[in-house]
Amino acid sequence: MSQNSALVPALDKQPHHRLHPVLAAFAGSEPRHLPAPLISRLQPHEILFYQGDAANHIFEVVEGVIRLYRLLPDGRRAIAGFLYPGGLIGLSSNHRYACTAEAITAARIRRHTRSQIEAAARRHPELSGWLLQHMRDELAAVMNHLLLLGRKNAQERVASFLIAVAQKKTACGRPLSVDLPMSRADIGDYLGLTLETVSRVLAKLKAARLIALPAPHQVLLLQYDALRELAGEDDDEPAAETLTAQNKPWTH
Amino acid sequence: MSQNSALVPALDKQPHHRLHPVLAAFAGSEPRHLPAPLISRLQPHEILFYQGDAANHIFEVVEGVIRLYRLLPDGRRAIAGFLYPGGLIGLSSNHRYACTAEAITAARIRRHTRSQIEAAARRHPELSGWLLQHMRDELAAVMNHLLLLGRKNAQERVASFLIAVAQKKTACGRPLSVDLPMSRADIGDYLGLTLETVSRVLAKLKAARLIALPAPHQVLLLQYDALRELAGEDDDEPAAETLTAQNKPWTH
DNA sequence: CGAACCGTTGAAAGCATTCAACCTCGGTGG
DNA sequence: CCACCGAGGTTGAATGCTTTCAACGGTTCG
């Protein structure tokens, strides 16, 4: 509950760009026509904005965990991502927010108007680049998630999830302790499973001694590498690039 | 096979920004130190680049259809998107490409170096904004796809797919004719289904008179609205925004 | 003409879901 | 203080949707 790296839509792996109050810093360097960015507090089930709302603001999670989700007309829910402190919300939105943002835990959120950000970005190219990088990271994370949702089975999904959550906690010694502030239903809606299936898979991983569950919201990764194997992601594959460097179509 | 709007990762709906040779136009307005952007031709199964390759280029589809996909170690494949003429590839990539890009049909591709693009973007703010917008559209499309993969059943997925493909063809009168240059396996890997399931669902939709299949790669949407209903997306919901404008947490 | 590829269709199997019961834990109030 | 209640988690049994395996027909191409 006290990690502070971004866990953007599909759980970023690289913990680069840890700067907490980045936007605030840039906003602060502007002439102070505007009040300093507002920090608002959210109660556990409070909504920050709804899908379809005009996307006039960009939010920065200061504390707590936020879920982003979309709903089908009949109520089925898909969680697009969990946001941890340092995470940015709404950056990649168009005119309207694509998801609903709701607090899972009590949270503190820094709010910036889009125009503020854009003005600051014009003045500070490094901020502009940083925001772009953030969007690219978000997209890369979502690509991973498409593979997970499209082609992985329940075990692989849960294992991938645990690995991803663990990779935010910058490599303490294993066995790794991870806590999951969200409910089983949240995890299910994130992984495209039912809450029962999530529970069952966790039980199975526990029976296989790959994890331990001291409490429902705390997981110990006992065999990290076995979990990675199960997750089936070649996260940091070395350069398979020199091999394929020839025979590029455009070298014709 | 002759549409010319972008069908980015999850099949864009808004056909805005139809400008075919945008990047070329901007590149051309530079002092001609560099050769004009190369156009290369791809054979049906030719690879443009592999996932993991250094992302030094940005590509623009001029003609044909490209698939972007990721693989699991055991060969399972998830197609992240199909790209049609006008689509940009690699724009949102980090240092490395997140997907493999492969031609489905014979294709012509315009290649730009990333540095060319970036230089042009610095000189032409409108290009910069356009690229940003493109990334946002891509992300929005992927969000739709997460919902599809995470929570829709086979029928809903196929219906959504057909609707999305149809929405590229700017609203000719219904019944709408749509052609699918990709194979059933491609559709399956895009929708998180097997090729058999795709075939079966199409047969079922045909039996229900919602579509007709004059040829395997041509679909007639006989009952567009019923399909939309089945797809279950409130694509263009009107403003539900004024209703929720009050009770924003930050107004505390 | 035969091989290969693609799409379709059938039958059986499997994995996740659905429905339901039970349990634990906190909070509340009698 | 303890009974009651609701929320969240776990587990079991049955169902079902999708997958898997297999066969068949059509088309293309060497």
Q: Cα(B209)–Cα(B227) distance, rounded to whole angstroms?
A: 11
Half-sphere exposure of residue B83: CA atoms within 13 angstroms, side-chain side:
27
pLDDT tens across A143-184, in order? 999 999 999 999 999 999 999 999 987 655 567 899 999 999
Residue B184 banded pLDDT, cuts 50, 70, 90: very high
Q: Is B107 exposed, middle or buried (0-12, 13-18, 19+ CB in 10 A)?
A: buried
Rg for chain A, CA atoms, rounded = 19
φ, ψ for residue B104 (rounded to 5)? -90, -50
Read off the pLDDT of residues B210-232 as tens digits, 9 standing for 90 and up.
Answer: 999 999 999 999 999 999 999 99
Cα–Cα distance measured from residue B169 to residue B86, given in angstroms and rounded to the nearest whole number: 13
Does residue B214 approach strand C to less than 7 Å at its CB? Answer: no
Q: Alpha helix locations (H) across A83-234?
A: 114-123, 125-151, 154-168, 184-191, 195-207, 224-231
What is residue A25's predicted lDDT score, i.e. its pLDDT? 61
For the cut 80, the answer to whether the pLDDT of residue A186 exceeds it is: yes
3-class secondary-structure state, position B58: strand
Q: What is the mean pLDDT of residues A121-143?
A: 92
CB spacing of A94 vs B46 below 8 angstroms: no
pLDDT tens digits, one per residue of A230-250: 999 765 544 333 333 334 444
For residue A88, pLDDT beyond 90? yes
On chain A, the residues whose CB falls within 8 A of the CB of B135 are 92, 135-136, 139
- Is B141 an interface residue toward A (CB < 8 Å)? no
The closest nt to B192, taking CA to C1', is D18
Whether the beta carbon of A153 falls within 7 A of nucleic chain C: the reply is yes
* Mean pLDDT across A40-47: 95
Q: Rounded to an integer, what distance in angstroms lies between the CA atom of residue A105 and that of residue B164?
A: 36
Question: Between chains, do A151 and B52 touch, taking CB under 8 Å as contact?
Answer: no
A225 touches strand D (CB under 7 A): no
Contact A250, B111 (CB under 8 A): yes
Q: Which nucleotides of D are covered by protein (CB under 7 A)?
A: 8-13, 17-22
Torsion of the alpha carbons at A154, A240, A142 and A248, rounded to the nearest 10: -130
Dihedral angle sign, alpha carbons of residues A48, A51, A57, A61:
positive
The bases of strand C with some atom under 7 A from any protein CB are 6-11, 15-20
Distance CA B221, CA B3 (A): 17
Element (H, E) at B161: helix B154-168
Closest by Cβ to A249, choosing from B40, B137, B142:
B40
What tokens were used for A153?
Answer: 């089975």
- pTM (2 decimals)? 0.86
Amino acid symbol at B210: L
- Peptide linkage before B175 cis (omega within 30 of 0): yes
Note the pLDDT of residue A12.
40
Pair type for strands B176-179 and B218-221: antiparallel
**Matching residue, tokens 């499209």:** A150
The first and second tokens of residue A15, run together, are: 């913990």
- Answer yes or no: is B152 CB < 7 A from strand C: no
pLDDT at A235: 59
Pairs across A and B, CB distance < 8 A? 164
Confirm if A168 and A12 have CB atoms less than 8 A apart: yes
